[in-house]
Structure 1
């Protein structure tokens, strides 16, 4: 148990806490053992996952993507200590979009498109791009990408296209009438990422496969 930690979320893979760390409040993500796996294998896989998440988080940060600052990686306890970011999720912001001016709308889509372009330029695949994993930083309104628990490194256009498709599906299923917003995000992404042509072409193929799966059920 992490000293003075407060549990704020538990998922299938990890527990997330807030706790003091040096002079700051940190988010601590602790991956727990899977009892159905052999202990040695489980520890090896979990350690690899923690290392990969930390590496992707740092690589994004170094490439100019606003992410939580990485404080410490505790390999022995399979935990990552990172910055606690105060802000509002994109999911909540879109729900309030009716109150926003067109300039605020354009500002938000620009921030999202640029962040995704930088992330994919660094060959980081987020793996869980949803409007709950993008938030605006309270202090300066910067767009922050969070939760790299399913992230990995890949230069394949197919993997980047699937990343975009996951976000698009979130827009369509969670935020009705947001098609134009996602189209704007893709336009910004295209203008800020020279290698986007092949990725957007693959995105069209991924969409087609997704529709076929939906029809088959």
Structure 2
């Protein structure tokens, strides 16, 4: 079924493999068994999470958010088979490399960073407009990939944002909810992730939020108000310890 299975990454919840499936580069996400749970409960929880992740990927397509194409869901093996982007870079690595280039005197790529911030804000807003809560918004869970019919080399991958598009990945913690609370929490998770990973670019979240607001079709004031509430609660917890 799948040729030359190779492990790509292992995390706390799942292993990622790459292979050729039906002639296509494929990523397999395989969820671990949790031995501390009763086997029946573990099977039930894992099945529900796999279903939820697959549902989120399909729903994103309808919402106009680019995600890996879903090939197969295998409940017996606890696996999701999906498109593997051979030419891709995480936004986390993109931002780090941009700053390395600036520091090494190879040019000011602030426009590229601003464009990426805009792409993130618009994409997250599309998710929320369709009541999709990602649950783990970090720049490691966002890819930049070449647009169709664009063949890019290693160097231009980091520079020519107009040739790239954003792909959302890892919907393992996703849910579907219309509440402003969950959308506010989603934004707060993103802000905290950016503060911890990209403190060299303190304006990043503000630019993302500007794009998020500009792309809004409805109830933006309520969502931002809820986000600020969540942020205030988070700061209070940090101060109290």
Superposed CA RMSD: 1.6
- What per-residue deviation string (whole Å, max 9, x for no partner) do you get for residues 168-205 of structure 1? 11111111142312111101101112232211111111
Q: What's 2:109 paired with?
A: 101
CA contact (8 A) 1:88 1:138 kept: no
Q: What does 1:151-166 correspond to in 2, within 5 Å? A: 151-166=174-189
Higher deviation after alignment, 148-157 or 100-109 = 100-109
User: Which residue of 1 is the match for residue 83 of structure 2?
Assistant: 83
Match of 1:210 among 220, 223, 234: 234
Once the two structures are superposed, the pairs formed by residues 14-33 of structure 1 within 5 Å of their partners are: 14-33=14-33
CA distance in 2, matches of 1:155, 1:103: 34
CA contact (8 A) 1:56 1:124 kept: yes
Matches within 5 A, 1:120-139: 120-139=128-147
Looking at structure 2, the residues matched to 12 and 105 of structure 1 have their Cα atoms a distance apart, in angstroms, of 31
Query: Number of paired residues?
Result: 217
| Cα distance in 1, alignment partners of residues 7 and 109 from structure 2 | 37
Residues 68-110 of structure 1, C-alpha deviation per residue, up to 9 Å, x if partnerless? 1111111222211111023111111111333343332222111
Take 1:6 and 1:168, find their aligned partners in 2: how far apart are those partners? 34
Work out whether 1:171 is the aligned partner of 2:194: yes
Per the normalisation by structure 2, the TM-score is 0.85
Larger deviation, residues 171-180 vs 99-108: 99-108
Distance (Å, rounded) in 1 between the aligned partners of 2:7 and 2:184 = 34
Separation of aligned partners in 2, 1:207 and 1:66: 28
Gaps of 5+ in 1: none
Identify the residue that residue 147 of structure 1 maps to in structure 2.
170
